[in-house]
């Protein structure tokens, strides 16, 4: 029996409505992402990538079609059920969204509150930051970190609680090669190490080169692309393995 897909979407359409004119951003999208896959979602700005991610992350309600995430249909879910589903998803956005008053370590620990004992949360946060090359920045506040370091903290925060699905929206935007290496290697290793899946919206060839599949959105229509020949070969030194 095949495993339950992390994402199963069929005939998904989504329209932004306004008093001036409606704008269709997704048009009859079909998508299936299996556990153990890292899928790159490409397309120009405004093509619908973020809309698709936020629907799959139960952050936005679907309008038409079928959407199952981690075996749960998103239609008709109450807010408590949506919140519970989001707890199984690791979100990584272009903006790091760290809490300025907390250290790097505390920001990661926040992701584990109520899930594991405090001592375990502290140890797991330290290990996640170490594997992302930030062991020496664990006690630094966000304003003491570079942009790339902040993004790596955000990745550690998303992955430390071992989500079943990772959704990332332009996670390497404006990052140098070193930080991009750490971010992509961490996600790639996390997917390979367990039964999680990742869907990454990106313009970055460095990210696309590590994907198992490439999808392309154009004017709301989704199509499958070719897997790069180097998809299983690291472009950068490994950032380590996540627990």
**Total domains present in the chain:** 1
Between CA 115 and CA 121 the distance in angstroms is 8
Domain contains 234: no
Query: pLDDT (tens digit, 9 = 90+) per residue, 29-62?
Result: 999 999 999 999 999 888 999 999 999 999 999 9
If you ran DSSP here, which 8-state letter would residue 108 be given? Answer: H
How far from 68 is each of 32, 46, 62, 71, 73, CA to CA, in Å? 9, 24, 11, 6, 4
Is there a domain that residue 174 lies in? Answer: yes
pLDDT digits (tens, 9 = 90+) for 109-119: 999 998 899 99
Is a pLDDT exceeding 90 seen at residue 130? yes
- Tell me which residue range forms the domain holding 206: 35-59+78-224
The answer to the question of residue 229 being in a domain is: no
pLDDT 10s digits, 157-213: 999 999 999 999 999 887 889 889 889 999 999 999 878 999 999 999 999 999 999
- What pLDDT score was predicted for residue 23? 87
3-state secondary structure of 35: coil
pTM here is: 0.88
Domain annotation covers residue 5 = no
């Amino acid at each position: 029996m095949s495993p339950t897909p992390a994402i199963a979407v069929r005939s998904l359409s989504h329209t932004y409505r306004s008093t001036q004119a409606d704008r269709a951003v997704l048009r009859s999208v079909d998508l299936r992402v299996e556990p153990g896959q890292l899928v790159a979602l490409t397309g120009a700005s405004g093509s619908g990538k973020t809309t698709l991610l936020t629907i799959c992350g139960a952050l936005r309600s679907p309008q038409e079609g079928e959407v199952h995430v981690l075996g749960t249909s998103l239609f008709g879910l109450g807010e408590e059920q949506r919140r519970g589903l989001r707890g199984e998803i690791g979100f990584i956005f272009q903006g790091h969204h760290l809490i300025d008053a907390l250290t790097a370590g505390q920001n990661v620990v926040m992701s584990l509150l109520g899930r594991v004992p405090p001592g375990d949360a502290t140890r797991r946060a330290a290990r996640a930051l170490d594997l992302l090359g930030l062991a020496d920045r664990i006690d630094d506040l966000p304003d003491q970190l570079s942009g790339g370091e902040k993004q790596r903290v955000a990745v550690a925060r998303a992955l430390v609680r071992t989500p079943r699905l990772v959704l990332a929206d332009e996670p390497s935007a404006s990052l140098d090669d070193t930080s991009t290496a750490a971010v992509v290697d961490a996600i790639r290793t996390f997917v390979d190490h367990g039964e999680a899946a990742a869907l990454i919206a990106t313009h970055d060839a460095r990210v696309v080169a590590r994907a198992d599949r490439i999808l392309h959105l154009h004017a709301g229509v989704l199509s499958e692309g070719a897997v790069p020949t180097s998809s299983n070969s690291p472009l950068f030194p490994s950032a380590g393995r996540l627990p």
